[in-house]
Amino acid sequence: MSDVCLPEDKLSLKDSLTVRGINRRKFLKFCSTMVATLALPPKYVAQVATALSNVKRPILVWLEFSDCAGNSESMLRATSPSIAEMVLDLLSLEYHEVLMAGSGKYADAVLQRVMRENDGKYIAVVEGAIPLADGGVYCTIGGRTAIDIATQVCKGALATIAVGACAWDGGIVRANPNPTGGVGVEEAVPGIKVVNLGGCPHNPANTAAVLTHYLTFNEMPALDRYSRPLFAYGRVIHDQCERRAHYDAGRFVQEWGDEGHRRGWCLYKMGCKGPQATYNCPTVRWNDATSWPVKSGHGCISCASPRFWDTRSPFYNRIPDVAGFGVDVPVSEIGWALTGAVTAATLAHGIGQAIRTRFRPPQEATAETEADVSLTGSS
Protein backbone atom coordinates (compact mmCIF):
# COMPACT_ATOMS: atom_id res chain seq x y z
CA MET A 1 0.00 0.00 0.00
CA SER A 2 1.05 3.56 -0.34
CA ASP A 3 2.07 5.54 2.65
CA VAL A 4 1.03 9.16 2.99
CA CYS A 5 4.64 10.27 2.87
CA LEU A 6 5.48 8.66 -0.48
CA PRO A 7 5.86 11.16 -3.30
CA GLU A 8 4.30 8.75 -5.80
CA ASP A 9 0.95 9.71 -4.35
CA LYS A 10 0.91 12.62 -6.68
CA LEU A 11 1.92 10.58 -9.73
CA SER A 12 -0.37 9.41 -12.47
CA LEU A 13 -1.28 5.76 -12.35
CA LYS A 14 1.04 4.83 -15.19
CA ASP A 15 4.03 6.51 -13.56
CA SER A 16 3.14 5.00 -10.24
CA LEU A 17 3.16 1.53 -11.77
CA THR A 18 6.50 2.22 -13.42
CA VAL A 19 7.93 3.27 -10.04
CA ARG A 20 6.65 -0.03 -8.65
CA GLY A 21 8.39 -1.98 -11.38
CA ILE A 22 5.28 -3.04 -13.21
CA ASN A 23 6.02 -3.15 -16.90
CA ARG A 24 3.61 -2.48 -19.74
CA ARG A 25 3.11 -6.16 -20.45
CA LYS A 26 1.93 -6.80 -16.92
CA PHE A 27 -0.22 -3.71 -17.08
CA LEU A 28 -1.98 -4.81 -20.28
CA LYS A 29 -2.45 -8.25 -18.79
CA PHE A 30 -4.18 -6.62 -15.86
CA CYS A 31 -6.37 -4.55 -18.20
CA SER A 32 -7.39 -7.68 -20.09
CA THR A 33 -8.29 -9.43 -16.85
CA MET A 34 -10.43 -6.49 -15.81
CA VAL A 35 -12.20 -6.32 -19.16
CA ALA A 36 -12.89 -10.07 -18.97
CA THR A 37 -14.18 -9.79 -15.40
CA LEU A 38 -16.47 -6.96 -16.43
CA ALA A 39 -17.76 -9.17 -19.26
CA LEU A 40 -16.91 -6.47 -21.81
CA PRO A 41 -15.83 -7.21 -25.40
CA PRO A 42 -12.03 -7.40 -25.93
CA LYS A 43 -12.00 -4.10 -27.83
CA TYR A 44 -12.36 -2.32 -24.51
CA VAL A 45 -8.88 -3.40 -23.40
CA ALA A 46 -7.34 -0.47 -25.25
CA GLN A 47 -9.84 1.96 -23.80
CA VAL A 48 -9.27 0.66 -20.28
CA ALA A 49 -5.50 0.81 -20.74
CA THR A 50 -5.63 4.38 -22.02
CA ALA A 51 -7.92 5.49 -19.25
CA LEU A 52 -5.88 3.84 -16.51
CA SER A 53 -2.62 5.25 -17.93
CA ASN A 54 -3.76 8.82 -17.75
CA VAL A 55 -5.97 8.85 -14.71
CA LYS A 56 -4.80 10.19 -11.41
CA ARG A 57 -4.93 7.47 -8.81
CA PRO A 58 -8.21 7.65 -6.93
CA ILE A 59 -8.03 8.19 -3.22
CA LEU A 60 -9.39 5.36 -1.18
CA VAL A 61 -10.37 5.16 2.46
CA TRP A 62 -10.87 1.66 3.81
CA LEU A 63 -13.07 1.39 6.90
CA GLU A 64 -13.32 -1.77 8.91
CA PHE A 65 -16.09 -2.45 11.40
CA SER A 66 -17.65 -5.65 12.82
CA ASP A 67 -16.00 -8.41 10.79
CA CYS A 68 -13.11 -10.86 10.62
CA ALA A 69 -10.79 -8.85 8.31
CA GLY A 70 -11.42 -11.59 5.76
CA ASN A 71 -12.01 -9.09 3.00
CA SER A 72 -8.67 -7.41 3.66
CA GLU A 73 -7.11 -10.87 3.70
CA SER A 74 -8.80 -11.73 0.43
CA MET A 75 -7.38 -8.56 -1.08
CA LEU A 76 -3.87 -9.51 -0.03
CA ARG A 77 -4.06 -13.24 -0.68
CA ALA A 78 -2.51 -13.29 -4.10
CA THR A 79 0.85 -13.58 -5.78
CA SER A 80 2.64 -11.54 -8.40
CA PRO A 81 1.53 -10.21 -10.76
CA SER A 82 -1.48 -10.10 -8.57
CA ILE A 83 -4.78 -8.38 -8.83
CA ALA A 84 -4.29 -7.36 -5.22
CA GLU A 85 -0.94 -5.81 -6.05
CA MET A 86 -2.46 -4.10 -9.04
CA VAL A 87 -5.34 -2.82 -7.01
CA LEU A 88 -3.10 -1.50 -4.31
CA ASP A 89 -1.04 0.26 -6.94
CA LEU A 90 -4.11 1.36 -8.79
CA LEU A 91 -5.34 3.12 -5.73
CA SER A 92 -4.03 5.65 -3.38
CA LEU A 93 -5.07 3.77 -0.27
CA GLU A 94 -4.82 6.54 2.29
CA TYR A 95 -6.40 4.89 5.27
CA HIS A 96 -6.65 1.21 6.20
CA GLU A 97 -6.39 0.31 9.85
CA VAL A 98 -4.94 -3.14 9.24
CA LEU A 99 -2.37 -2.15 6.64
CA MET A 100 -1.33 1.38 7.47
CA ALA A 101 1.87 2.13 9.33
CA GLY A 102 0.44 4.78 11.60
CA SER A 103 -1.77 3.95 14.52
CA GLY A 104 -3.83 5.58 17.21
CA LYS A 105 -4.38 9.31 16.95
CA TYR A 106 -1.92 9.56 14.03
CA ALA A 107 -4.04 7.18 11.99
CA ASP A 108 -7.13 9.09 12.92
CA ALA A 109 -5.46 12.35 11.90
CA VAL A 110 -4.78 10.84 8.46
CA LEU A 111 -8.44 9.98 8.03
CA GLN A 112 -9.52 13.46 9.03
CA ARG A 113 -6.98 15.06 6.71
CA VAL A 114 -8.01 12.91 3.73
CA MET A 115 -11.65 13.75 4.27
CA ARG A 116 -10.90 17.44 4.65
CA GLU A 117 -8.62 17.72 1.62
CA ASN A 118 -10.63 15.48 -0.69
CA ASP A 119 -14.17 16.16 0.37
CA GLY A 120 -16.55 14.54 -2.09
CA LYS A 121 -13.69 13.12 -4.17
CA TYR A 122 -12.49 10.03 -2.32
CA ILE A 123 -13.96 6.55 -2.49
CA ALA A 124 -14.94 4.87 0.77
CA VAL A 125 -14.59 1.12 1.02
CA VAL A 126 -16.42 -0.40 3.95
CA GLU A 127 -15.70 -3.83 5.34
CA GLY A 128 -17.81 -5.28 8.12
CA ALA A 129 -21.27 -4.75 9.54
CA ILE A 130 -22.31 -1.69 11.50
CA PRO A 131 -23.92 -2.52 14.86
CA LEU A 132 -26.82 -0.25 15.71
CA ALA A 133 -28.09 -1.81 18.95
CA ASP A 134 -27.65 0.18 22.18
CA GLY A 135 -26.43 3.27 20.38
CA GLY A 136 -23.85 1.34 18.38
CA VAL A 137 -21.56 0.65 21.35
CA TYR A 138 -20.61 -2.83 20.09
CA CYS A 139 -18.06 -1.46 17.64
CA THR A 140 -16.09 1.65 18.49
CA ILE A 141 -12.80 2.95 17.12
CA GLY A 142 -10.98 5.60 19.09
CA GLY A 143 -14.08 6.12 21.19
CA ARG A 144 -16.33 6.75 18.19
CA THR A 145 -19.04 4.32 17.17
CA ALA A 146 -18.97 2.59 13.81
CA ILE A 147 -22.19 4.24 12.74
CA ASP A 148 -20.75 7.65 13.63
CA ILE A 149 -17.57 7.09 11.59
CA ALA A 150 -19.44 5.50 8.68
CA THR A 151 -21.94 8.33 8.49
CA GLN A 152 -19.20 10.95 8.44
CA VAL A 153 -16.92 9.17 5.97
CA CYS A 154 -19.56 7.79 3.59
CA LYS A 155 -21.56 11.00 3.39
CA GLY A 156 -18.42 12.89 2.31
CA ALA A 157 -17.39 10.24 -0.20
CA LEU A 158 -17.85 10.24 -3.94
CA ALA A 159 -19.09 6.69 -3.70
CA THR A 160 -19.09 3.90 -1.18
CA ILE A 161 -18.13 0.33 -1.95
CA ALA A 162 -19.36 -2.24 0.56
CA VAL A 163 -17.08 -5.26 0.36
CA GLY A 164 -18.11 -8.61 1.79
CA ALA A 165 -21.38 -9.97 3.10
CA CYS A 166 -21.17 -8.08 6.41
CA ALA A 167 -20.85 -4.63 4.85
CA TRP A 168 -23.52 -5.49 2.28
CA ASP A 169 -26.37 -6.80 4.42
CA GLY A 170 -24.89 -7.59 7.82
CA GLY A 171 -23.55 -11.04 6.93
CA ILE A 172 -22.72 -13.35 9.81
CA VAL A 173 -22.79 -10.42 12.23
CA ARG A 174 -26.44 -9.94 11.41
CA ALA A 175 -27.25 -13.67 11.50
CA ASN A 176 -30.01 -14.63 13.88
CA PRO A 177 -30.26 -13.63 16.76
CA ASN A 178 -28.09 -10.61 15.85
CA PRO A 179 -27.37 -9.39 19.42
CA THR A 180 -25.45 -6.31 18.28
CA GLY A 181 -28.10 -5.16 15.81
CA GLY A 182 -25.60 -5.27 12.95
CA VAL A 183 -26.68 -4.07 9.51
CA GLY A 184 -25.03 -3.33 6.20
CA VAL A 185 -23.75 0.11 5.15
CA GLU A 186 -26.67 0.82 2.83
CA GLU A 187 -29.11 0.34 5.68
CA ALA A 188 -26.99 2.06 8.35
CA VAL A 189 -26.25 5.18 6.31
CA PRO A 190 -29.27 5.81 4.11
CA GLY A 191 -29.08 8.15 1.18
CA ILE A 192 -25.52 7.41 0.06
CA LYS A 193 -24.40 5.94 -3.24
CA VAL A 194 -23.34 2.35 -2.56
CA VAL A 195 -22.01 -0.47 -4.69
CA ASN A 196 -22.41 -3.73 -2.81
CA LEU A 197 -19.88 -6.48 -3.36
CA GLY A 198 -21.36 -9.30 -1.32
CA GLY A 199 -19.66 -12.60 -0.75
CA CYS A 200 -17.76 -14.04 2.13
CA PRO A 201 -15.24 -12.69 1.41
CA HIS A 202 -15.57 -10.35 -1.57
CA ASN A 203 -13.57 -11.28 -4.62
CA PRO A 204 -10.78 -8.71 -5.12
CA ALA A 205 -11.04 -9.19 -8.88
CA ASN A 206 -14.57 -7.85 -8.77
CA THR A 207 -13.59 -4.95 -6.54
CA ALA A 208 -10.76 -4.08 -8.90
CA ALA A 209 -13.14 -4.41 -11.86
CA VAL A 210 -15.64 -2.02 -10.30
CA LEU A 211 -12.90 0.55 -9.75
CA THR A 212 -11.51 0.00 -13.25
CA HIS A 213 -14.99 0.51 -14.67
CA TYR A 214 -15.34 3.68 -12.69
CA LEU A 215 -11.95 5.04 -13.76
CA THR A 216 -12.55 4.16 -17.42
CA PHE A 217 -16.16 5.17 -17.92
CA ASN A 218 -16.62 7.60 -15.03
CA GLU A 219 -19.59 5.70 -13.72
CA MET A 220 -20.30 2.62 -11.68
CA PRO A 221 -21.21 -0.57 -13.56
CA ALA A 222 -24.85 -1.62 -14.01
CA LEU A 223 -26.29 -2.72 -10.68
CA ASP A 224 -29.05 -5.13 -9.67
CA ARG A 225 -31.79 -4.53 -7.12
CA TYR A 226 -29.33 -5.10 -4.29
CA SER A 227 -26.93 -2.52 -5.79
CA ARG A 228 -24.57 -5.32 -6.77
CA PRO A 229 -22.78 -5.13 -10.13
CA LEU A 230 -24.54 -7.35 -12.65
CA PHE A 231 -21.30 -8.53 -14.24
CA ALA A 232 -20.43 -10.33 -11.00
CA TYR A 233 -23.82 -11.24 -9.54
CA GLY A 234 -26.00 -11.65 -12.61
CA ARG A 235 -25.59 -15.36 -13.28
CA VAL A 236 -26.38 -18.53 -11.38
CA ILE A 237 -23.31 -20.44 -10.21
CA HIS A 238 -24.89 -23.74 -11.26
CA ASP A 239 -24.95 -22.56 -14.88
CA GLN A 240 -21.23 -21.74 -14.88
CA CYS A 241 -20.06 -24.72 -12.82
CA GLU A 242 -17.44 -27.04 -14.26
CA ARG A 243 -19.23 -29.98 -12.59
CA ARG A 244 -22.53 -29.16 -14.29
CA ALA A 245 -22.13 -31.99 -16.82
CA HIS A 246 -22.03 -34.48 -13.95
CA TYR A 247 -25.24 -32.97 -12.61
CA ASP A 248 -27.11 -33.35 -15.90
CA ALA A 249 -25.74 -36.85 -16.38
CA GLY A 250 -26.86 -37.89 -12.89
CA ARG A 251 -23.41 -38.56 -11.40
CA PHE A 252 -23.48 -37.36 -7.79
CA VAL A 253 -21.19 -37.50 -4.78
CA GLN A 254 -23.08 -39.68 -2.28
CA GLU A 255 -20.80 -39.06 0.70
CA TRP A 256 -17.58 -37.21 1.42
CA GLY A 257 -14.56 -39.05 0.12
CA ASP A 258 -16.40 -41.66 -1.93
CA GLU A 259 -15.49 -42.69 -5.46
CA GLY A 260 -17.64 -39.96 -6.99
CA HIS A 261 -16.06 -37.33 -4.76
CA ARG A 262 -12.60 -38.44 -5.81
CA ARG A 263 -13.65 -38.28 -9.45
CA GLY A 264 -15.02 -34.77 -9.12
CA TRP A 265 -18.73 -35.49 -9.53
CA CYS A 266 -21.53 -33.08 -8.73
CA LEU A 267 -21.90 -32.00 -5.07
CA TYR A 268 -25.67 -31.43 -5.33
CA LYS A 269 -26.58 -34.17 -2.84
CA MET A 270 -24.04 -32.83 -0.36
CA GLY A 271 -26.05 -29.62 -0.08
CA CYS A 272 -24.30 -27.52 -2.73
CA LYS A 273 -26.19 -24.24 -3.06
CA GLY A 274 -24.92 -23.55 -6.57
CA PRO A 275 -28.41 -23.84 -8.11
CA GLN A 276 -29.71 -20.94 -6.04
CA ALA A 277 -26.60 -18.77 -5.82
CA THR A 278 -25.52 -16.00 -8.15
CA TYR A 279 -21.86 -15.03 -8.36
CA ASN A 280 -19.01 -15.17 -10.85
CA CYS A 281 -17.02 -17.45 -8.55
CA PRO A 282 -16.59 -20.25 -11.13
CA THR A 283 -15.09 -17.94 -13.77
CA VAL A 284 -13.11 -15.40 -11.73
CA ARG A 285 -12.13 -17.85 -8.98
CA TRP A 286 -9.86 -17.05 -6.05
CA ASN A 287 -6.19 -16.67 -5.17
CA ASP A 288 -5.23 -15.48 -8.63
CA ALA A 289 -7.84 -17.66 -10.30
CA THR A 290 -6.36 -20.82 -8.83
CA SER A 291 -9.51 -22.45 -7.54
CA TRP A 292 -12.93 -21.96 -5.99
CA PRO A 293 -14.92 -24.00 -3.44
CA VAL A 294 -16.62 -26.43 -5.82
CA LYS A 295 -13.42 -27.05 -7.73
CA SER A 296 -11.72 -27.96 -4.47
CA GLY A 297 -14.51 -30.44 -3.65
CA HIS A 298 -16.80 -28.53 -1.32
CA GLY A 299 -20.32 -27.41 -2.14
CA CYS A 300 -21.22 -23.77 -2.61
CA ILE A 301 -22.73 -22.15 0.50
CA SER A 302 -24.26 -19.30 -1.48
CA CYS A 303 -22.17 -16.73 0.42
CA ALA A 304 -23.00 -13.95 -2.05
CA SER A 305 -26.76 -14.32 -1.57
CA PRO A 306 -28.86 -12.01 0.59
CA ARG A 307 -28.71 -12.87 4.32
CA PHE A 308 -27.02 -16.12 3.35
CA TRP A 309 -26.23 -17.23 6.87
CA ASP A 310 -29.90 -17.44 7.79
CA THR A 311 -31.48 -18.14 4.42
CA ARG A 312 -29.07 -20.70 2.94
CA SER A 313 -28.32 -22.88 5.93
CA PRO A 314 -28.07 -25.79 6.63
CA PHE A 315 -25.12 -25.74 4.26
CA TYR A 316 -24.91 -29.54 4.00
CA ASN A 317 -28.59 -30.24 3.31
CA ARG A 318 -30.33 -29.47 0.06
CA ILE A 319 -33.34 -27.78 1.62
CA PRO A 320 -33.83 -26.25 5.07
CA ASP A 321 -35.44 -27.96 8.04
CA VAL A 322 -39.10 -27.35 8.76
CA ALA A 323 -39.67 -24.94 11.62
CA GLY A 324 -41.22 -26.56 14.68
CA PHE A 325 -39.96 -30.06 14.00
CA GLY A 326 -36.66 -29.82 15.82
CA VAL A 327 -33.18 -30.08 14.40
CA ASP A 328 -32.33 -32.48 11.59
CA VAL A 329 -35.86 -33.59 10.74
CA PRO A 330 -35.93 -33.26 6.95
CA VAL A 331 -39.13 -32.32 5.16
CA SER A 332 -39.10 -35.67 3.34
CA GLU A 333 -39.36 -37.54 6.66
CA ILE A 334 -42.33 -35.41 7.70
CA GLY A 335 -43.90 -35.94 4.29
CA TRP A 336 -43.56 -39.72 4.33
CA ALA A 337 -44.85 -39.84 7.93
CA LEU A 338 -47.89 -37.82 6.90
CA THR A 339 -48.55 -40.08 3.92
CA GLY A 340 -48.19 -43.10 6.20
CA ALA A 341 -50.58 -41.62 8.74
CA VAL A 342 -53.22 -40.97 6.07
CA THR A 343 -52.79 -44.51 4.75
CA ALA A 344 -53.21 -45.93 8.26
CA ALA A 345 -56.28 -43.77 8.90
CA THR A 346 -57.77 -44.87 5.58
CA LEU A 347 -57.15 -48.53 6.38
CA ALA A 348 -58.68 -48.09 9.82
CA HIS A 349 -61.72 -46.44 8.27
CA GLY A 350 -62.00 -49.30 5.79
CA ILE A 351 -62.05 -51.82 8.63
CA GLY A 352 -64.65 -49.75 10.47
CA GLN A 353 -66.71 -49.58 7.29
CA ALA A 354 -66.52 -53.36 6.79
CA ILE A 355 -67.82 -53.86 10.33
CA ARG A 356 -70.55 -51.25 9.89
CA THR A 357 -71.94 -52.85 6.72
CA ARG A 358 -72.54 -56.10 8.65
CA PHE A 359 -75.14 -54.77 11.02
CA ARG A 360 -76.42 -51.43 9.86
CA PRO A 361 -80.11 -51.14 8.86
CA PRO A 362 -80.93 -50.80 5.15
CA GLN A 363 -80.90 -47.28 3.86
CA GLU A 364 -84.65 -47.09 3.35
CA ALA A 365 -85.29 -48.17 6.94
CA THR A 366 -83.21 -45.46 8.54
CA ALA A 367 -84.29 -41.95 9.25
CA GLU A 368 -81.20 -40.85 7.38
CA THR A 369 -82.62 -41.16 3.90
CA GLU A 370 -82.41 -38.36 1.44
CA ALA A 371 -85.41 -36.56 2.91
CA ASP A 372 -83.48 -36.14 6.11
CA VAL A 373 -80.63 -34.32 4.51
CA SER A 374 -82.79 -31.23 4.15
CA LEU A 375 -81.89 -30.95 0.50
CA THR A 376 -85.47 -30.31 -0.39
CA GLY A 377 -84.79 -28.87 -3.77
CA SER A 378 -83.17 -25.59 -4.56
CA SER A 379 -85.15 -24.64 -7.65
Partner 1 sequence: MASGTVNARIRPEASWVRVYVWQLPVRLAHWILVGCLVVLSFTGIYIHNPFIVAVSDRSWVMGTMRFIHVMSGFVLISALIWRFYWFFAGNRWARWDQFVPFTKERRSAMKNMMEYYGFLRWWPAPQVGHNPLAGAAYCAVFGLLIIEILTGLALFDNILGNRVLHSFIGWLTLLINLQYLRMIHFGIMFLFGAFLIHHVYSAILISKEERSGLMDSIFTGYKYISPARLSREGVGERVERH
Contacts with partner 1 by CB under 8 A lie at 236, 238-239, 247-252, 254, 268-269, 273, 275-276, 306-307, 311-312, 318-320, 322, 331-332, 334-336, 338-339, 341-343, 346, 349-350, 352-353, 356, 360-361, 363, 366, 368-370, 372-379
Give the DSSP H or E segment for 174.
helix 171-174
Cα 129 vs. chain centroid, distance in angstroms?
A: 13
For 154-202, give the DSSP string.
HHTSSEEEEEHHHHHH-HHHHSTT-TT-EE-HHHHSTTS-EEEE-SSS-
Task: Pick between residue 296 and residue 376 the one whose CB is nearest to partner 1.
Answer: 376
Residue 259 CB, shortest distance to partner 1, in Å, is: 9
Residue 195 CB, shortest distance to partner 1, in Å, is: 20
Residue 253 CB, shortest distance to partner 1, in Å, is: 11
Residue 320 CB, shortest distance to partner 1, in Å, is: 5
Distances from the Cα of 357 to the Cα of 228, 347, 351, 352, 367, angstroms: 68, 15, 10, 9, 17
Judge if the upstream peptide bond of residue 177 is cis by omega within 30 degrees of 0: yes
Residue 141 pairs in a beta bridge with 144
Task: Pick between residue 6 and residue 249 the one whose CB is nearest to partner 1.
Answer: 249
Task: Pick between residue 106 and residue 336 the one whose CB is nearest to partner 1.
Answer: 336
Task: Pick between residue 117 and residue 224 the one whose CB is nearest to partner 1.
Answer: 224
At 336, give phi and psi (nearest 5°): -65, -40
Contact 274, 238 (CB under 8 A): yes
Task: Pick between residue 251 and residue 298 the one whose CB is nearest to partner 1.
Answer: 251
At 348, give phi and psi (nearest 5°): -60, -40
Residue 307 CB, shortest distance to partner 1, in Å, is: 8
